[in-house]
Amino acid sequence: MDTAPARPAFRFDNSYARDLPGLYVESRPVRVPAPRLLRLNRALAEELGLDPDSLDAAAVFSGNVVPEGAQPIAQAYAGHQFGGFSPQLGDGRALLLGEVIDRHGQRRDIALKGSGRTVFSRGGDGKATVGPVLREYLIGEAMQALGIPTTRALAAVATGAPVLREVELPGAVLTRVAASHIRVGTFQFFAARGESDKLRALADYSIARHYPEVAGPDLAGAANPYLAFFEAVAARQAALVARWMAVGFIHGVMNTDNMAISGETIDYGPCAFMDAYDPGTVFSSIDHTGRYAYGNQPLILGWNLARLAETLLGLIDADEDRAVALATAALERIMPLYRAEWLGQMRAKLGLVGEEDGDLALAEGLLAAMAGPGGEGADWTLTFRRLSRAVAGDARAVRPLFADPAALDAWLPRWRARLAPGAAARMDAVNPVTIPRNHMVEGALGAAVAGDMAPFEALLGVLEAPFADRPGFEAYALPAPASFAGYRTFCGT
Residue 89 binds what, of ligand AMP, Mg ion, none (CB under 5 to 8 Å, by partner type)?
Answer: ligand AMP
Residue 427 binds what, of ligand AMP, Mg ion, none (CB under 5 to 8 Å, by partner type)?
Answer: none
Number of residues that bind ligand AMP (CB under 6 A): 17
Residue 71, CA distances (Å) to 29, 303, 323, 344, 399 in order:
11, 34, 37, 42, 57
Binding of ligand AMP at residue 442 (CB under 6 A)? no
The residue among 56, 130, 57, 110 whose CA lies nearest residue 456 is: 130
Candidates 254-262, 308-316, 350-358, 368-376; binding stretch for Mg ion (CB under 5 A): 254-262
Taking CB under 6 A as the criterion, the residue among 80, 93, 183, 426 binding ligand AMP is: 93
Q: How far is the CB of 429 from ligand AMP (least distance, A)?
A: 34
Q: How far is the CB of 204 from ligand AMP (least distance, A)?
A: 24
Q: Which is nearer to Mg ion, 165 or 389 (CB)?
A: 165
Q: How far is Cα 175 from Cα 113, in angstroms, rounded to an integer? A: 6
Taking CB under 5 A as the criterion, the residue among 150, 258, 284, 381 binding Mg ion is: 258
Strand partners, 86: 79
Taking CB under 6 A as the criterion, the residue among 92, 252, 302, 466 binding ligand AMP is: 92
Q: How far is Cα 466 from Cα 436, in angstroms, rounded to an integer? A: 9
Q: How far is the CB of 258 from Mg ion (least distance, A)?
A: 5
Q: How far is the CB of 284 from Mg ion (least distance, A)?
A: 13
Taking CB under 5 A as the criterion, the residue among 267, 275, 379, 428 binding Mg ion is: 267
Candidates 85-93, 95-103, 320-328, 342-350; binding stretch for ligand AMP (CB under 6 A): 85-93
Q: How far is Cα 357 from Cα 359, in angstroms, rounded to an integer? A: 6
**Given 257, 267, 287, 428, which residue is catalytic?**
257
Select the residue whose beta carbon is closest to ligand AMP and give its number. Answer: 124
Binding of ligand AMP at residue 124 (CB under 6 A)? yes
Binding of ligand AMP at residue 91 (CB under 6 A)? yes
287's CB contacts (< 8 A; 6+ apart) are: 82, 252, 253, 270, 293
Q: How far is the CB of 151 from ligand AMP (least distance, A)?
A: 12
In the residue annotation, 275 being an active-site residue is answered as no
Q: Which is nearer to Mg ion, 141 or 267 (CB)?
A: 267
SS3 string, 151-207, reads CEEEEEEEEEEEEECCCEEEEEEEEEEECCCCEHHHHHHHHHCCCHHHHHHHHHHHH
Binding of ligand AMP at residue 132 (CB under 6 A)? no
Assess contact for 154 and 194: CB atoms under 8 A: no
Binding of Mg ion at residue 136 (CB under 5 A)? no
Assess contact for 210 and 230: CB atoms under 8 A: no
Q: How far is Cα 4 from Cα 20, in angstroms, rounded to an integer? A: 34
Q: Which is nearer to Mg ion, 79 or 248 (CB)?
A: 79
Q: Cα 68–103–39 angle (5° rounding)?
A: 65
Taking CB under 6 A as the criterion, the residue among 102, 121, 324, 344 binding ligand AMP is: 121
The residue among 368, 345, 360 whose CA lies nearest residue 418 is: 360
Taking CB under 6 A as the criterion, the residue among 150, 258, 262, 284 binding ligand AMP is: 258
Strand partners, 174: 113, 156
Binding of ligand AMP at residue 90 (CB under 6 A)? yes
Q: Is the dihedral of CA 354, 360, 363, 365 positive or negative?
A: negative
Task: Report the DSSP pairing between strands 152-164 and 168-178.
Answer: antiparallel
Query: Which residues of this protein are in contact with ligand AMP, per CB under 6 A?
Result: 89-93, 120-121, 124-127, 257-258, 267, 269, 491, 493
Active site residues: 257
Binding residues for Mg ion (CB under 5 A): 258, 267
